[in-house]
Structure 1
């Protein structure tokens, strides 16, 4: 229960991270700059819903082990509906997240940011893909399961650390009025 609750309640902590990416756009008044930014904000806003639905899906499956067999068909039918709802909510959040970061990468590749073009290959989309290949090579273990469940969180962490540490000075040079990165 606490895993779903923590994930749902702390998703807003990704908003400052998304904001870290926004100032790197050369022209923030262009539709693609604010469009990519709002797509990323929307992805953060959708995250809690997928986590919240996951909890109920898991709980109803656990309830099957503690109920009379006569209740199992109803519980399985309800669980099936929860799974469908989970696919819709989680799928929407992941698709919007991937579209947002793919858009960001494309804009980096097109030179619409002050970042070097290679940075497009370290956005969440690409870091997630790199992790999947590493994940496939790991032997089956609890750690492999934990890493698989945290794939997007790890991608966010790696990306924002690199972006903040490696390009902080470049951002301040390009936008001297931004002093909150000191």
Structure 2
């Protein structure tokens, strides 16, 4: 029985290794994507100070050479929340600018990544705007409520003073 199991195990292990090797082979002739995904992952893993530094570096690089890659990196750095200068709307603008640049030659996977990131940042920007508007409305209602309370207190004091008059 052991003699029949060994060849069977050898076949199973061999086919598994061949299958794993086949999965590791690239399925397309696409060149490797730029480091934008790795850059985004590094930003996500960084602390607030490192994110702020990365944004400053991305801005400088973009000012020195505003090519599609620098524009995309700037957008990714601007859109990574967790630092004081995070700006989802500006980030989406820069990523979309990089995507639409006629000089850009993005691979489909990078184009998809940037498109999803830009759409996500657009959605975040719209939620942030809605939140700012809701805060403004809440603050206005709080002011109106305080005004109404002050008027009610004034009326109550007038009534009290009239009731105490001889």
> Which has the greater radius of gyration?
2
Report 1 or 2 for greater relative contact order, CA contacts < 8 Å, sequence distance ≥ 6: 1
Q: TM-score, normalised by structure 1?
A: 0.30
